[in-house]
A and B are shown apart, each in its own frame.
Chain A
Amino acid sequence: MDKLNLSYKEAVTSIEEILQQIETGELDVDELAEKVKKASELLKLCKDKLFQTEQDIGKILKDMSEDKE
């Protein structure tokens, strides 16, 4: 899914947009649950980026070293 490829900046921007929509009352209650769900997913994505839970990075770095040798 494209959500996974979202950068931290894009994710934060999306969250800020949702927040603004809620604060300015652009959003109605019907959409609220869906948007809040999306925002919390994005927040989790951001947190994941902080702690870089992606496993493959370590492997790539390891491969780099092996290429060199």
Chain B
Amino acid sequence: MENQSVSLYQLLGQVKQSLKNNLPSSFWVVAEISEMKVNFSGHCYLELIEKEPAADSIKAKARATIWASAYRIIRPYFETTTHTRLAAGMKVMVKVNVEFHEVYGFSLNITDIEPSFTIGEMARLKQEIINRLIAEGVFEMNKAIPMPDLPGRIAVISSQTAAGWGDFSDQLTNNAFGYKFHVKLFPAVMQGEDAEQSIISALDAIFAFDGFFDLVVIIRGGGSQSELNCFNSYWLAYHICQFPLPIFTGIGHEQDETIADLVAHTRLKTPTAVAEFIISLFRQADERINELSIALTEAATDLVEEEKERLGRFLLHLKPGVMKILADGKGNLQLLGHRMNSSAKHLLLRETGIITRRSDRLNRLSNEYLIVASHRIAMKAQRIRETCRKFIESTRHNLIMLDKKSMYLDPFLILKRGYSITYYCGKALKDPKLVPENSEIETRLAGGILKSKKT
């Protein structure tokens, strides 16, 4: 068989023709946008894919375009209905014409879009995230933190340039009651693809000052209503849930709440509403303090009054009681006085009797004793006199006798009777052998001294 050939152009022309002949002019197609780009002339180029749900692998892929003329209508229609911008990662239902061009190949020309499909898809996705957070047990965690009594130190996550931040800060600073708030901005990107990570980083920065702040506020003032997708992010919600401080949101939107709002401690619509709410917490605390102050004063005053009354009642009962006691006392004293008087007299009488009797007896006994004693003394004196007299008598007799005796012993009388005394050298001599030859001796005689020599 001879090889028959056609040119590439002819072939692709046939493909184009057969597509045109066999397919309806348009389809409604469900797909996910994987890439999206708008060029300077307003044409939008996309890549549409379909994933294998279980494996997350791509099982179909096609280029698509929205020509500027159509995009000018589709984009606002989609955004006002869904409050979301068309963006990569989004599931859409679009009306397409299948196009095939010999040079540019296969592509889908998008002519229309069904926003309600995307809304449904987003709601489903949101519900999935909510379910996941609930299943993980974190959904209620931030809500479980008690409402702060006085959140005076406030960490704010917002865009520095956002009007909402300025309003919020002004409102707190210039509050009518003069409460003092310390507000610190942790700047973050609040819309677009980077918002999720940026807000999480801001939360991390606040966490680093653990213990200093009382409250975190996430606010977003102004900006497009269609930029809220980042607040439906699972990871942002996950961080909000588990943040140790209560998080208040004032993201500023009117339609359905975002997941960030749902998991936040307290959800308020606008930054202004958040500021008002915080001021109202202070106001409540202020009022409570004033109430307590008044109640305390009243209670203390009441207590003092009560005590005064009680004392008054005491006094009332006390007076008659005291009077009675005094009267009783007086009577008793008088009685006692009488008794004392009579018993004292009685005692005196009795004692006087005893003393008199004793003194009489003493008198009598001493007289008797004196008589006996003087008698004894007289006797003794008699005896002494007698004894003395006898003694003197006998002494005198003895003296006479002695005198007589001494007469016989008188040496002169003895010499007269012929005795002599010989002296040698002045001493009475009793042995002649004691006198040497030719020595002179003296002999005392009654008539005088005789001197002689021993021969």
Contacts and interface: CB of A to CB of B under 8 A. Distances in A.
| Chain A interface main SS type | helix
Interface string A9-39: 1001001101100110101010010001001
B289 interface: yes
B295 interface: yes
A14 to B, nearest CB: 10
Contacts, number: 73
Contacts of B178: 51
B300 A49 contact: no
Given A12-B288, A32-B303, A61-B184, A22 B179 contact: no
Interface of A: 7-9, 12, 15-16, 18-19, 22-23, 25, 27, 29, 32, 36, 39-40, 43, 46-47, 49-53, 57-58, 60-61, 64-65
A27 B182 CA distance: 40
Given A29-B303, A57-B153, A61-B182, A50 B292 contact: no
A18 B179 CA distance: 26
A22 B295 CA distance: 10
Contacts of B145: none
Interface of B: 149-150, 152-153, 178-182, 184, 209, 212, 282, 285-286, 288-289, 292-293, 295-296, 299-300, 303-304, 307
Contact of B304 (A16, A29, A53, A61): A29
A52 B181 contact: yes
B296 A57 contact: no
A57 B182 contact: yes
Nearest to A49: B150
Nearest to B178: A51
29 contacts: A7-B149, A8-B149, A8-B150, A8-B285, A15-B292, A15-B296, A18-B296, A19-B292, A19-B296, A19-B299, A23-B299, A27-B303, A29-B303, A36-B296, A36-B300, A39-B292, A40-B296, A43-B289, A43-B293, A43-B296, A50-B152, A50-B286, A51-B179, A52-B179, A52-B180, A52-B181, A52-B182, A57-B182, A65-B184
